[in-house]
Amino acid sequence: MHAVGPQVDDHMAVDVALSVLIGARVQHLLLRDEDGRCAGLVTRAQLAGHRGGSWFSDRTRLRDIPLDRGPFTPSRSSLSEAEATMRGRTLDASPVVDEHGYALGVLALTP
């Protein structure tokens, strides 16, 4: 499990989020809802792909694009359970959350 890393609000513009990703030199951002709970995970590839779409505008928000919104990996999950779930959902990374939905870290599969 990796540290949580950068977290942003889900109402952030896609362009700004991509700048944060590049500036932080990370592959993903965790999204928070208005209460600070984990609301999703978005990758650099997802942001870059949506930025070039014909429907895209500088007002497009993270909450408006399709991305992984859960369920997330509970902190009480065993590593084998988490890995099986991630592989079944074809995820490379999944937020690990506590019982209240707050991000504790990110579990990433290694190739």
* pLDDT at residue 5 in the model: 83
pTM over 0.85: no
- What is the pLDDT at residue 91? 85
Q: What pLDDT is recorded for position 93?
A: 86
The pLDDT value recorded for residue 47 is 80
Task: Tell me what pLDDT residue 70 has.
Answer: 78
List the chain pLDDT tens, one digit each, 111 residues.
777 888 999 889 888 888 899 999 988 899 999 999 999 888 888 887 766 555 556 677 888 887 777 789 999 999 999 898 888 888 888 899 999 999 999 988 876
Residue with tokens 């209240």: 100
Residue 53's pLDDT is: 57
Helix and strand element counts for the chain (H, E): 3, 6
What phi, psi does 102 have (nearest 5°)?
A: -90, 140
Q: Are 67 and 42 in contact (CB under 8 A)?
A: yes
